[in-house]
Amino acid sequence: RTCRDNPVAATQLLLPLLLGARQPHQLAMPSEREAWVGLESNPTVMTKYARSLGVADGWGFCDLWGLDDEALEAVPQPCVAAIFLYPFSQVEARKRALGTQQPASAPEVWHMRQDVSNACGSVAIMHSVMNNLDRIGEGSSFLDSFREKTAGASSAERAALFAPAVRDIHDSHASSGQTDAPAPTADLDFHFVAYVEVRGRMYELDGNNDGPIDCGEVADGGLLRAVCDHVKAAYIAPFPDSHFSLITLGPERREDDE
């Protein structure tokens, strides 16, 4: 499952379940910054995590196994968000060379900074959930309360509220999965970002940014098609031999759909 063919027309996406990130370089993080165990890129783990936050039964994450039409058609619809995993140092070096892309002024998009080391998976789940809360989490006392507390707050203020609110939930899921959990201080060279659609536009939500990145209008093909087109051009094309993972959020896949 690789993207070694023409990346713009790639039909297969490598989904390593964060195997590389689960075997990290053991470099120490600054002691003054809180650090969590990195979350595995695993839809089962992420679904359980989301349910613990208060996402309604019937919604969950699933792997996207390719970028061709057949693979996209196998994804339960509607796809309301997607989480993309990429090799951090390699991609970020290219981003710096190209210049910083300015965040959009979009107060209707819920965005938070990442202040906890190795919490990018949790931040991506929060971005996916909070921007679809009325659809997938209505009636959740925790999520409704967190939305109320963070309404009108800046991305940095939301980050300060995030850790104490979610820490116990994260700890209960971060060590599960198919690979050995790394130490909280491990230097994981993979990074999660989320994609959501708000008012007909697709936004990339990265906890390392100060705000959402406007990726353009979502066309008739829907959010999933827009995400795939974007990541192929922006991430996979420059690094066709690297490892990437894409997980979607939508109706939970039933056994008879597999």
227 SS3 class: helix
Instruction: Please pick, among 62, 79, 120, 215, the residue that the annotation labels catalytic.
Output: 120
Instruction: Please pick, among 111, 173, 191, 230, the residue that the annotation labels catalytic.
Output: 191
Q: Residue 114 CA to chain centroid, in angstroms?
A: 12
51 vs 227: CA distance, rounded Å = 24
53 SS3 class: helix
* Residue 228 among the catalytic residues: no
CB 137 within 8 A of CB 53: yes
192 vs 43: CA distance, rounded Å = 13
* Residue 191 among the catalytic residues: yes
258 vs 249: CA distance, rounded Å = 16
Q: Two tokens at 18? A: 């964060």
194: number of Cβ within 10 Å? 29
* 79 closest CA partner among 66, 93, 61, 65: 61
Please give the positions annotated as active site. Answer: 120, 191
